[in-house]
Amino acid sequence: MALTARLNQLTYGDVDEVRARFAEITGAEPGDGFRLVPPFHADCGRTIRVGRHVFINQGCTFYSLAPITIGDEVLIGPNVSLITSGHPVAPSQRQALLVGAPITIERNVWIAAGATVIGGVTIGENSVVAAGSVVTRDVPPDTLVGGNPAGVIRSIEGD
């Protein structure tokens, strides 16, 4: 969290420094063409992996108890949350346990502003998550999803 505080002192124009700070947070270099607009929030970061030509807009939150894998050419809108951690539903276990499940975002996905993706979800190649959606289950490739919980709106094959 101290590393994210240092990253958040930077501006969009500090491209090389933002990239370096993000690499410190994740422990791995993001792919070529990576761009991030601060502020950015993370609880740990060591399980985040980012492909080539990924754009992460401002105000995003990545909680990475379990791995977050972001493929090439992904666009992540402002205020998107990727949350791999949660608590059991049972009241007797809620305070004692923290559980995690990975998030995988495949190539050429666009996650629009304010969306939330919950652990255990894979978003298929070329798909779009509409603004404000809450994604609680896998998204097939070439699909537009939206709502809470997110559901299929239509196929986007050939668009």
pLDDT in tens, 53-87: 999 999 999 999 999 999 999 999 999 999 999 99
- Give the three-state DSSP class for 127: coil
Confidence of residue 47 (pLDDT cuts 50, 70, 90): very high
What is the largest distance, in Å, between two alpha-carbon atoms of the chain? Answer: 49
Q: Which residues are catalytically annotated?
A: 87
Residues in the chain: 159
pLDDT in tens, 4-32: 999 999 998 999 999 999 999 999 999 99
Predicted local confidence at residue 2, as pLDDT: 87
Confidence of residue 157 (pLDDT cuts 50, 70, 90): confident
CA–CA separation, 77 and 111 (whole Å): 6
Predicted local confidence at residue 158, as pLDDT: 66
Neighbours of 44 (CB within 10 A): 18
pTM: 0.95
- Residue pair 135/117 in contact (Cβ under 8 Å)? The answer is yes
- Tell which residue, 139, 135, 138, 137, has the closest CA to residue 155: 139
Predicted local confidence at residue 159, as pLDDT: 58
Taking CA atoms, 104 is separated from 19, 66, 69, in Å, by 21, 11, 5
